[in-house]
Amino acid sequence: MKTKKGTSQELTRGGIIQEAREQFVRNDYRQVSMRNIAKKLGCSHGAIYYHFKNKAELFYAIVEKDFTELNQEIDDIVNCDDMDDNEKLYNLFLRFISFGLNHQNQFEIMFMIRHAEVDSLSQQSASLSYHKFANAIQQMVSQPIAVKIIWSAFISLLGFVSHYRGYVNSFKEAEGAAKTHVLFTMKALIDS
Amino acid sequence: MKTKKGTSQELTRGGIIQEAREQFVRNDYRQVSMRNIAKKLGCSHGAIYYHFKNKAELFYAIVEKDFTELNQEIDDIVNCDDMDDNEKLYNLFLRFISFGLNHQNQFEIMFMIRHAEVDSLSQQSASLSYHKFANAIQQMVSQPIAVKIIWSAFISLLGFVSHYRGYVNSFKEAEGAAKTHVLFTMKALIDS
DNA sequence: TCCTCCTTTTGACCATTGGTCAAATACTGT
DNA sequence: ACAGTATTTGACCAATGGTCAAAAGGAGGA
């Protein structure tokens, strides 16, 4: 049986992830330590290694969950009936940035920083999210657009997140600049 | 007297920087260790701390030098007489990306990653380079452009470097994509 | 040559990290 | 109660950045 202690104090994957996420929200991958997570959980750091092979795997568990959320958001916009294509595109871009700035450290690991430890795990998820994003764009634009151009648009949004992460604590703080940048990016995309 | 050993084996700021740069080119800030630099220099790691207050200061010394180079390149393009404004803009953007991908780890510290240790030092240089860049753009475009738009163009280029760093070892390997992205960014900038 | 003063350098030391693992502990089913 | 398995512990390892008293190396003067 995998289930154990029906009592109070159990150390579960879920519990570890929860605490790890809390630390991960505020600090970057390398600043968060297994020992500190353990301390907050009231267990030894060794115990965490029973539930997760290593730090990378623990963080990937978080990243994966959050990216499911991003994929869902993309789908929601694509399937929404209340907007025309232009509005959809605008919202898609803005949501992408919003997600990036509200999940800064997860985003960093997925799309920005190459991290030998985490890469092998995150690459697939990142690629999946990108393809959802690219497909969404294709559907929202009247004439077919070169893949290269979509890629440039993606890169452009990535740049926004890449720069503002660290300067800003949440999307709200950069909302104005984000809207400008989204319009900027749309202009290049649509007039192509 | 500051001067010492007229003999062979002296440990100088310059020598340390040179070795540090070599390591910094291949590895990221946190992967480079003072101890390894010392080992390659044939001295103890403590000795480096005599010449540099800490790791951040050592790396800033490198970063600063490289950014002087970037500023120079920007000036060269602005003052060049063989190109019209559009060509200049194209080259400015491409050179910016080129610099970013050929100085990945320096660039990362200057424009991308927020690093409490290094930030206080690098902020000024980064800001200076950005302003040179922004002014150059203003000069190359016929009608005056909103500051916000220039900022978006900068962010867009930053995104390119931000993503390709780590996937690619030098500008050459991403040249094709870079050209596409530069044209993409110019389109948004000029049609504004 | 020897002694002093100042500049460098050393290497032991500290705290902290990710990770491992044998041994101890807590549970579960019988 | 016992056996067997699922967890936890904490000592241990190899790194890291950083500090600092002590040692070494030089230059100049007597």
CB B130 within 8 A of CB B147: no
Calculate the angstrom distance between C1' of D25 and CA of B60.
30
A125 vs B39, which has greater pLDDT? Answer: B39
Write out the residues of chain B at the interface with chain A, using a CB-CB cutoff of 8 A: 30, 111-114, 148-149, 151-153, 155-160, 162-163, 165-167, 177, 180-181, 184-185, 187-189, 191-192
**Rounded to the nearest 10 degrees, what angle do helices A147-164 and B147-164 cross at?**
100
Domain spanning B1-52, CATH architecture: Orthogonal Bundle (1.10)
Nearest-nucleotide field for B35 (CA, C1'): D16
- pLDDT value, residue B1: 40
- pLDDT value, residue A10: 83
For chain B, domain boundaries: 1-52, 59-190
B69 vs A10, which has greater pLDDT? Answer: B69
- pLDDT value, residue B192: 59
Inter-chain residue contact A156 with B151, CB threshold 8 Å? no
- pLDDT value, residue B177: 97
pLDDT in tens, A93-118: 999 999 999 999 888 887 777 677 77
* Closest residue to D5 measured CA to C1′: A1
Q: Is the pLDDT of residue A132 over 50?
A: yes
**Residue range A68-83: average pLDDT?**
94
Inter-chain residue contact B184 with A153, CB threshold 8 Å? yes
Share of chain A above pLDDT 90, in %: 70
- Look at residues A87, A85, A73 and name the one whose alpha carbon lies nearest to residue A129: A73
Eight-state DSSP code of residue B165: B
* Closest residue to C21 measured CA to C1′: A46
Calculate the angstrom distance between C1' of D10 and CA of A45.
10
Helix ranges, chain B (H): 13-26, 34-41, 45-51, 55-78, 85-102, 104-107, 116-140, 147-164, 175-190
- pLDDT value, residue A192: 59
User: Which residues have C-beta within 8 Å of that of residue A183, sequence separation ≥ 6?
Assistant: A90
Per-residue pLDDT of chain B (192 residues; tens, 9 = 90+): 444 444 446 899 999 999 999 999 999 898 999 999 999 999 999 999 999 999 999 999 999 989 999 999 999 999 999 999 999 999 999 999 999 999 998 888 877 776 777 777 788 888 899 999 999 999 999 888 999 999 999 999 999 998 898 789 999 999 999 999 999 999 999 875
- pLDDT value, residue B8: 42
* CB within 7 A of strand C (chain A, 27-56): 32-36, 45-46, 49, 53-56
- pLDDT value, residue A9: 60
Nearest residue on chain B to A163, alpha-carbon basis: B112
CB B15 within 8 A of CB B37: no
Half-sphere exposure of B136 (CA within 13 A, CB side): 29
- Look at residues B129, B114, B96, B180 and name the one whose alpha carbon lies nearest to residue A112: B114
- For strand C, which nucleotides have at least one atom less than 7 Å from a protein CB? 7-12, 16-22, 26-29
**A and B: number of Cβ contacts within 8 A:** 93
Nearest-nucleotide field for A41 (CA, C1'): D8
Q: Is the pLDDT of residue A8 over 60?
A: no
